[in-house]
Structure 1
Amino acid sequence: MSIRAIWKGHLSIGDLSCAVALHSAVNASERTTFHIINRDTGHRVRREYADADTGRPVGKDDLVKGYDTPEGQTVILEPDEIREAVPESDKRLELATFLACDEIDTLYLERPYFLAPADRKSVEPYALIRETMEAQGVAAIARTVLFRRLRSVLIRPQGQGLIATTLNYDYEVRDPAESFEGISKVKIETEMLELARHIIGTKMGEFDPGRYEDRYEAALTELVKAKIAGRKPKKLPKRKSENVTSLLDALRKSADTGAAKTPQRRKAPSGNTTRQKKAS
């Protein structure tokens, strides 16, 4: 079954253009979801807006957006005013700036999407754009209106297609100095550095997303199954706490453990492996 496009437009470089469709790359529908239930009746409950002062319910037609100024004044924004203020979409992703694929700081990456040809006649120009970018080892920055906001998008080749990742704006990303400014410089002993390098070396591998289990989701699934079956849920094993007298002792112990069981390297799967086969 083909995935429904959430946006359609045109991808272009200069005069070269092709119709494209945007598909969500992340699927959260298979996560365990719950309803809010009235414990006494077993019925679902619904949420409704109420006036903060009077407590009276507010109908949908009476809801508007408001902005509180530093002076304490509330500015009312009508839906038509917001609609007129939003930039109009020309449905075009113009590849205006090219850069090395690893040049974007991951702090600015927001959400990934699949960007695919929207029709048969667009397959050839789409492939030309993708293969040229792959041969050059570059990604591209484009701007367009998505979901009623003007967004910057990073477009890069992957497999036979293109990945479009929306980017956070500079004002949205916090200055790391705010979190790291209190870290003082520490002189690390040579033996500690060598042990730490050794430990990292024994754990080197390749990224395989199928190896990482969502333990929270697994625990919820087990709890639901146990409730249905009328049994107690299986308890996950707890990690044993170990008494370590010093950082150096911890490194030595970790190095000995790593030498005893060095993990085998596993080849990372192709880009579509996890989409073809669900992780158990």
Structure 2
Amino acid sequence: MVARATWKGQLKIGALTCPVGLYTAVSSADHISLNIVNRKTGNRVERQFVDSETGKPVDKENQVKGYQLDSGDYVLVEGDELAAIVPDSDKVLSVEEFVPVDEIDKTYFERPYYLVPTDRDELEVAAVLMRGMEATNSAAIAHAVLFRKHRSLLIRPHEKVLIATVLAFDYEVRSAATTFKDIPEMDLTEEMIELAGHIISTRKGSFDPARFEDRYEAALLELVKAKMEGRQIEARPAKAESKVIDLMEALRLSAAAAKPAKSKAAARDKGGSGSKKAG
């Protein structure tokens, strides 16, 4: 299946331009979709907009957006008025600056798109840009009108293509320092930190999204299959509540639990090496 671009335009960096398309990098199309159904009739339930006071349905032509005032009244905003204030979509993804990768705060990440030249003759432009960013360990900040909204995007190399991530505006991201200002500074001992470091080191792995299992999706699929086949699915037993223990004790127990696994692995490796020599 050929991917379809959700947006097409020009990537512009000074005098350098390249026709590009944005392709959705994350999709929910494969998720199981459940509809709301009338239990009595088995028919699908349709959503309907009704007047909050009269309870009567409101047809499409009488539905309008509005901003609620403190008095409870609304300032009505018509569709053509909204369209008039949207910046003109010139189909240009304009790069204004490059920033060090180490300075990027991923809290601002919203939605990723693959950014790929729509003309195969322009692949070299994207390749040069990618190599330049990799060599300087930097990413590009670009701006464009996407889906009738002015958005900022972060562009960076990703495997053989560029990836453009829509960024949240500063006012949209809640400050952790302000939101959780009541959290006090913790006075931790050196032993606590060392134990925590030991626990982490014994559980080191690599970032592999292929290993991440959507357990809810898998369970939902099994439930649907079982109901289609007339089978019963046993409810999973609830996990027993953890016993509240002292933090230091918990750290020591966790660190001790990690040691046997490591020694067993070492014993297996040692045993394996010995058998090879014997052979």
TM over 0.5: yes
Cα deviation, 1:60-89, whole Å, max 9, x if unaligned, reads 111111011234331111111111111111
- Equivalent residues in 2 for 1:52-91, closer than 5 Å: 52-91=52-91
Unpaired runs of 5+ residues, structure 1, are 265-280
**Cα gap change, 1:166/1:188 in structure 2, threshold over 3 Å: closer, same or farther?**
same
Tell me the residue number matched to 2:170: 170
**Deviant stretches of 4+, over 4 Å:** 234-242
Higher fraction of helix: 2
Change over 3 Å in CA distance of 1:245–1:128 after alignment to 2: closer
The answer as to whether partners of 1:93 and 1:142 remain within 8 angstroms in 2 is: yes
CA distance in 2, matches of 1:236, 1:225: 17
Letter in 2 for 1:89: S
Shift in alpha-carbon separation, 1:136–1:245, aligned structure 2, 3 A: closer
Give, in angstroms, the shift of residue 193 of structure 1: 1.7
Alignment check: 8 A CA contact 1:244 1:250 kept: no
Partner-residue secondary structure (3-state), 2:217 = helix
DSSP-derived class of the 1:95 partner:
strand
- 1:36 counterpart SS class: coil
The 3 A distance-change label for structure 1 pair 227 and 189 is: same
- Alpha-carbon distance, 1:241 to partner: 4.5
- What does residue 155 of structure 1 align with? 155
Aligned counterparts of 1:122 and 1:140: Cα–Cα separation in 2:
19
| Aligned residues between the structures | 264
The root-mean-square deviation of aligned C-alpha atoms, in Å, is: 1.8
Match in the other structure for 2:143 = 143
Aligned residue for 2:254?
Answer: 254
Q: Is the 8 A contact 1:11 1:17 kept in 2?
A: yes
Task: Map 1:113-152 onto structure 2 (within 5 A).
Answer: 113-152=113-152
Distance 1:239 1:71 in 2: 49
* Matching residue's letter, 1:16: L
Indicate the residue corresponding to 1:184 in structure 2: 184
SS, match of residue 259 in structure 2 = helix
Relative to structure 1, the CA distance from residue 53 to residue 242 in structure 2 (aligned partners, 3 Å threshold; closer, same or farther) is closer
Q: Distance in 2 between matches of 1:70 and 1:104?
A: 39
User: Given that residues 126 and 162 in structure 2 are in contact (C-alpha distance below 8 angstroms), is that contact kept between their aligned partners in structure 1?
Assistant: no
Unaligned runs of 5+ in 2: 266-279
